[in-house]
Amino acid sequence: METAQQEVLTVKEPAPGIELTGSAALLEGLLIEGVDTIFGYPGGAIMPIYDALYDYMDKLKHILVRHEQGGIHAGQGYARSSGKVGVVFATSGPGATNLVTGLADAQIDSTPLVCITGQVFAHLLGTDAFQEIDVINVTSPVTKWNYQITDATEIPEVLAKAFYIARSGRPGPVLIDITKNAQLQKFNFEGYTPCRHIRSYRPKPIVRKEYVEQAAELINEAKKPFVLWGQGVILGSAEKEFKAFIEKSGIPSAWTILGAGAVPTGHPLNVGMLGMHGNYGPNVLTNECDVLIAIGMRFDDRVTGRLDKYAKQAKVIHLDIDPAEIDKNVQTTVPVWGDCKETLPLLTDLVQEKQHTEWLAKFRDFEKQEIDAVIREELFPSSEEMTMGEVIQTLNELTNGEAIIVSDVGQHQMVACRYAKLNHSRSNITSGGLGTMGFALPAAIGAKFGSPERTVVAIIGDGGIQMTIQELGTIMQSGIDIKIIVLNNQFLGMVRQWQELFNDRRYSFVDITSPDFVKVAEGYGIHGKSIAKREYLEDTLKTMLDHEGSYFLEIMVTKENNVFPMVPQGCSVSEIRLK
């Protein structure tokens, strides 16, 4: 991971000893770090950096968002699709506080970001000056590291540390707060050196080969081994190593939503999605396997259900780069600390080549039950109204699994994650741990800038789209090409589902009235259409995908359709319901 992410552009640095402002030094550092795109919104306290940026417009692309939250979600989408560090600019006060949701989202989902915020002059700190906020204390809980600069001479070293911390080990967001005087201050710029080491910071634990050997022994003795993989495989750029491991060991493997795509959806050992709305077999058989191998995942509550009833019969092997995740939620039999790009080949060398034919067949039997009870009607409904699942299925047929799917949060997210066909890694971008409504539209913008050669499709609900709909302005001004699908069921669907199942259909404030989305999109210069009949679905999706430039498609779907299977809150994964 680190090798791939620390590649830098060849940039001609100013001669050492040249006098630069803090703002110019910052931009020179960004160039050395290989930054090509910045998402941001200017303001008074960061104005010197924006003034300096005027002279760098041929080297650094700046995308003017419409809200700082949109900027940081765009930075996340850029990082998730490209594997590089996302960079975000914001001003002080409300500009900085508007980043907090995105910082929290990036922290939980291990997304590498470097956020630069402007701050009032150093002599005004602590005086409640206009647009002053203690951004360091506000953001400490939701960043991997943060730092306030009051002297320009600190900028090169602090920026280098920020990029190193953001991308190394378990990635995460970093914030640098720079006072206005430091941005304006001139100093003797001695050059910029990317950071490769920080004393007392160990991004990767030492691999203990005896634990790898113990893990291999358990796997070789197992009759019903089961692999759970998460985003750590993708963050570690270990897709090839992971595929080699499961193919040699022959172990059925299931994924968390952030791990989706690390191996193709159609791989014969890919048995589906874990969790509350995951597939039937992976959930039930978690409580039947004899060895559970978790790779780059954190045993989130949405995956485990009731911990006191989770995989109690199994010996647990946990491969993770973050020692804090070991034994945090699930007691581990053998911990394998380290970057899975390093640990997986060591494990693969020691495991025996096997085919767990009968065990794999059990997953396929449960899959048939799920198809009969849920999937067939969701993807090929007999009702007149369209379902979210059939939209995703039709999209699969047209994109053939080659698109990046960026989903928002809600029922449509679970449907998209369950049914989207993914042939490549970094193709499923969504808000996992925080569940941030409004994530998808700006994240899709960032994803397209991160991977401009790929088709990017945003799947959004009628609730989530209205949280960041202003970012249609970013699309208009930047000319970016993304395809936007709003699945409109005229409800806050996931909340409504819970109210139906657990609150006697007491639908409390989940009816949502929406504007004419197509007219709104057209107001931003984006072509759009709304359809409500199945007969128009395939042709309209094809028109959207073939259209040059962004396209906004609203699809009216059935109002009270529920996402199943479902593990009810407070139940074990083996109590998953098909209906």
Structural domains of the chain, ranges and CATH numbers in brackets = 2-189 (3.40.50.970), 209-363 (3.40.50.1220), 384-556 (3.40.50.970)
**Residue of 425, 426, 429 whose CA lies nearest to 440:** 429
- 438 Cβ neighbours under 8 A, 6+ residues apart: 69, 73, 408, 464, 467, 468
Residue pair 7/32 in contact by the 8 Å Cβ criterion: no
* Beta-sheet strand order (sheet of 315-320): 270-273, 253-255, 225-229, 291-295, 315-320, 334-337
For residues 111 and 171, the answer to whether their CB atoms sit within 8 Å is yes
- Exposed, middle or buried by CB within 10 Å (0-12, 13-18, 19+), for 548? exposed
Instruction: Compute the CA torsion angle 517, 417, 403, 261 (nearest 10 deg).
Output: 160
Weakly modelled stretches of the chain, pLDDT under 70? 1-16
- The edge-to-edge listing of strands for the beta sheet with 37-40 is 61-64, 37-40, 86-90, 113-119, 173-179, 145-149
For the question of residue 130 being annotated catalytic, the response is yes
Strand, coil or helix: 350? helix
Model confidence pLDDT, tens digit, residues 219-258: 999 999 999 999 999 999 999 999 999 999 999 999 999 9
Contact indicator for 251, 218 with CB cutoff of 8 Å: no
User: Of 1, 273, 276, 494, which one is the catalytic site residue?
Assistant: 494
Asked if 313 is an active-site residue, the reply is no
In sequence order, what are the residues at sequence separation of 6 or more whose Cβ sits closer than 8 angstroms to the Cβ of residue 268? none
Helices 68-82 and 100-108 sit at what angle, rounded to 10 degrees?
20
Identify whether 358 is a catalytic site residue. no
Q: Which residue in 33, 68, 239, 378 is the catalytic one? A: 68
- Provide the CB-side half-sphere exposure for 54 (13 A, CA): 6
Catalytic residue among 84, 144, 180, 315: 180
Q: Is 131 a catalytic residue?
A: yes
Helices (H) and strands (E) in the chain, counts: 24, 20
Q: Annotated catalytic residue: which of 2, 13, 121, 131?
A: 131
pLDDT of residue 8: 44
pLDDT of residue 46: 98
- How far is 254 from 417, CA to CA, in rounded Å? 13
Residue among 130, 368, 502, 538 flagged as catalytic: 130
Q: Which of 122, 125, 117 is nearest to 174 (CA)?
A: 117
Active site residue 245: no
What would the two tokens of residue 50 be? 């924006």
Using alpha carbons, select from 205, 212, 353 the residue that is nearest to residue 293: 212
Q: Which of 479, 403, 475 is nearest to 442 (CA)?
A: 475
Q: How far apart are CA 76 and CA 469, in angstroms?
A: 17
